[in-house]
Amino acid sequence: MVKKGIDVPLISRVIDQLIEKEQWRGGWEAHDHAGSKIKEGEHPEPCAQRLNHLLNKHDCFRKIFTIPEILCGCKLLIKNEFRLSQMILRMPFPGTGLQPWHVDWVPRRKPNEPIRAVLSFLLLDDYYKENGGTSVIPGSHKFLRPPDEDGYTYQEHPDQVFVEAPRGSLIIMDVNLWHRGNRNHNRKRRRHINIHYRDRNIWQQIYFKKELSKKLLDSFTEAELYLLSARDCDPERNEWLYKNRSNFFVKKSNGLLLKLRGL
């Protein structure tokens, strides 16, 4: 589906300027793996360009996270209240970019477990197989296990489908869907912005309340601030717990808390 009212050519131009400016550092702000600190010369994902903190970097990104279809998708799939977790640009480098099959959150294990996140890709280029368009395994959001438990990492999957869609389209998916970015064979550009929404009860990758400039925060409406979890009344993120979120005890106690609250 091509989204009207979003200035994709402008966004594309700004993205290119940011890529030029940030180069290999792009995406470092949310080098998202707990406990890992990016080192000088270390690329966040060696086979792809990433950019993060887009809201801070240009006004053209302001309208992207409130695209109604994205919010409808979140409302439909995430039963609890949700908030923006991060918005990230990904572009495979020419000739490379293949990812292993994966899901972007802890997989659901039981049919009654809630869906915790929704991924929405706004395509800045046409997507097709040869330029490394995203591929998915239809129906895998109901498998209740991650791909590596079926032995799938980098190899082809018999049921894989390459998303073919024109620039300006949105791909919206349950975070439990098995998917991956592919090799950019023909070296034609293939960029998207991933608008990642999560249940408000799990970690927000970018702590917008602290990271957005005061000027920017003052310019957002109450509804936008709610979606960013950046109103005065929204809870502070405990930085110690966030940094240690992969710690066994932190994970266990979070899980227990959610269970106790029936979430």
Q: Which residues bind ligand AKG (CB under 6 A)?
A: 90, 104, 134, 179, 181
Give least dist CB 162 to ligand AKG, A. 10
174 binds Fe ion (CB under 5 A): no
Residue nearest to Fe ion (CB): 104
Rounded Cα distance, 261 and 21, in Å: 45
**Beta-sheet strands, E only, within 76-226:** 82-92, 117-123, 135-136, 161-162, 170-174, 179-180, 192-199
Question: Positive or negative, the Cα torsion across 87, 118, 231, 259?
Answer: negative
Answer for the pair 61, 54: CB distance below 8 angstroms, yes or no.
yes
Give least dist CB 104 to Fe ion, A. 4
Give least dist CB 248 to Fe ion, A. 25
Q: Give the tokens for residue 249.
A: 């005890």
| Distant-in-sequence, close-in-space partners of 167: CB < 8 Å, separation ≥ 6 | 8, 123, 124, 125, 126
Decide which of Fe ion, ligand AKG, none touches 90; Cβ closer than 5 to 8 Å per partner kind. ligand AKG
In 3-state terms, what secondary structure has residue 152? coil
Give least dist CB 45 to ligand AKG, A. 7
Give least dist CB 243 to ligand AKG, A. 21
Among 21, 87, 18, CA closest to 52: 87
Pick between residue 184 and residue 229 the one whose CB is nearest to ligand AKG. 184
Give least dist CB 16 to Fe ion, A. 23
Name the one range near Fe ion by CB under 5 A: 49-57, 96-104, 125-133, 239-247.
Answer: 96-104
Name the one range near Fe ion by CB under 5 A: 1-9, 71-79, 100-108, 237-245.
Answer: 100-108
Pick between residue 34 and residue 223 the one whose CB is nearest to ligand AKG. 34
Among 190, 170, 161, 163, CA closest to 1: 170
Pick between residue 29 and residue 104 the one whose CB is nearest to Fe ion. 104
Answer for the pair 185, 132: CB distance below 8 angstroms, yes or no.
yes
Decide which of Fe ion, ligand AKG, none touches 49; Cβ closer than 5 to 8 Å per partner kind. none
Up-side HSE of residue 198: CA atoms within 13 Å toward CB?
15
104 binds Fe ion (CB under 5 A): yes
Residues in contact with Fe ion by CB under 5 A are 104
